[in-house]
Amino acid sequence: LNLDRLKQREAAVRLIRASRRIAILAHVSPDGDTVGSALALAQGLRQLGKVAQVYSADPLPTNLAFLPGYGEIQVGGSLPPDLDLVVLVDASDMARFGAAYAEAIDRRAGVRVLNVDHHATNRHFGDANMVDTTAAATGEQIHWLLTALNVAIDARIATQLLTAIVTDTRSFRTPSTTPRSLALATQLFEAGAPLNLIVESVYRSRSLTTLRLWGLALERLRCVDGIAWTEVTVEMQQKVGADPSEGDGVIDLIASLHRIEAAALFKETSDGIKVSLRSTDGFDVAAVASRFGGGGHPRAAGCLLSGDLAAAEREVLEYMAQRTAVR
């Protein structure tokens, strides 16, 4: 453990100890890591007698409805006036928590900000920044934090944290998975987290419209010089009656194509073109996403482009092609 990381962790513990009313924010397009981590932290802080509430700018994925505390999350609710601390989990910049929350936090001089995240592109925007890029999930960091605060890891917290780890490692398949992730997962399983329920809920939950949308996206799959890509348009969503978030899983499907260096998914949304990137060893997609104002991990990253689909595809794919060429 390096000294900087130790100091960051101590600062995080101090900030929490000194706070009583705490808001915890999940990032936009919420996933199992941000939701599981936020709920576990809220649960643990309440054990310590603090007032803690989870907020999400975006609607929550329904396949996480089995999580203890899921129903208590405030979707789009405004932050209470008398906050001491806001904890932002699992995202590299403030904008990833939604413009409304980012602005609300900026306006409040008295509120302290704790940033808990594992992305290499993290901008250290908090008063304390607990950023650990060796953590496979933010859930691992939350476990460390709760343990340092002497919170008992009960079955609820174990379920929330194991969900964070299982989802962010895609069931321990990502290269970010470490012996520590597996050891912690074992510990959480032993503490009462229902691994089978988690896996069934997360992975056997696709609707007919989702799979039909994926079918349309797969029909348009192209692959040139080791880069595979496809798109999900509003028209495709309308054709099968799917909502925008149902296209998200397509990226992990196309990333399973053999002998590719990188995969890209371009999705039309009301905010612009959402780009999801994945890669194999040696191709840094976080750098590609950063170039277009986004971020993420070296092997999984994303960004949002304004303008039309064709232009976004041209720009991003051209930039990616240059990066393969110089390697």
Binding residues for Mn ion (CB under 5 A):
33, 90, 138, 168
69 or 298: CB nearest ligand 5GP: 298
| Torsion sign, CA atoms 282, 283, 286, 291 | positive
69 or 295: CB nearest ligand 5GP: 295
Q: For the window 39-78, what string marks contact with ligand 5GP as x by the rule CB under 6 A? A: ----------------------------------------
CB of 213 to ligand 5GP, least distance (A): 16
Examine residue 118 and tell whether it contacts ligand 5GP (CB under 6 A). Answer: no
Examine residue 135 and tell whether it contacts ligand 5GP (CB under 6 A). Answer: no
Q: Where are the beta strands (DSSP E) in the chain?
A: 21-26, 51-56, 74-75, 85-89, 112-117, 128-131, 222-224, 227-232, 262-269, 272-279, 295-296, 300-305
Which of 56, 138, 201, 276 is in the footprint of ligand 5GP by CB under 6 A?
276
Closest CA to 275 of 237, 304, 311, 310: 304
Which of 15, 52, 60, 301 is in the footprint of ligand 5GP by CB under 6 A?
301
Examine residue 89 and tell whether it contacts ligand 5GP (CB under 6 A). Answer: no
- Which range binds ligand 5GP by CB under 6 A, 43-51, 89-97, 128-136, 306-314? 89-97
91 or 193: CB nearest ligand 5GP: 91
Examine residue 163 and tell whether it contacts ligand 5GP (CB under 6 A). Answer: no
**Do residues 145 and 10 make contact, with C-beta atoms less than 8 angstroms apart?**
no
Residue 196: both structure tokens together: 């089978």
Contacts with 101 (C-beta within 8 Å, 6 or more apart), sequence order? 25, 55, 57, 79
92 or 230: CB nearest ligand 5GP: 92
DSSP code of residue 98: -
Measured between alpha carbons, how far is 179 from 164 in angstroms, rounded to an integer?
A: 16
Which of 143, 297, 299, 323 is in the footprint of ligand 5GP by CB under 6 A?
297
DSSP code of residue 261: S
Examine residue 137 and tell whether it contacts ligand 5GP (CB under 6 A). Answer: no
Examine residue 126 and tell whether it contacts ligand 5GP (CB under 6 A). Answer: no
45 or 292: CB nearest ligand 5GP: 292
CB of 111 to ligand 5GP, least distance (A): 22
CA distances 226 to 118, 151, 279, 291, Å, are 28, 48, 10, 20
Q: What count of other Cβ atoms lies within 10 Å of the Cβ of residue 218?
A: 12
Q: Choose the contact partner of 143 out of ligand 5GP, Mn ion, none; CB within 5 to 8 A by kind.
A: none
Measured between alpha carbons, how far is 285 from 264 in angstroms, rounded to an integer?
A: 10
Q: Choose the contact partner of 264 out of Mn ion, ligand 5GP, none; CB within 5 to 8 A by kind.
A: none
Residue 173: both structure tokens together: 């398949």
- Which range binds ligand 5GP by CB under 6 A, 183-191, 196-204, 289-297, 315-323? 289-297
30 or 83: CB nearest ligand 5GP: 30
Alpha carbons within 13 A on the beta-carbon side of 78: 5
The alpha carbon of residue 80 and the mean position of all alpha carbons in its chain are separated, in whole angstroms, by: 24
Residues that bind ligand 5GP (CB under 6 A): 29, 91-93, 96, 119, 121, 251, 276, 294-297, 300-304
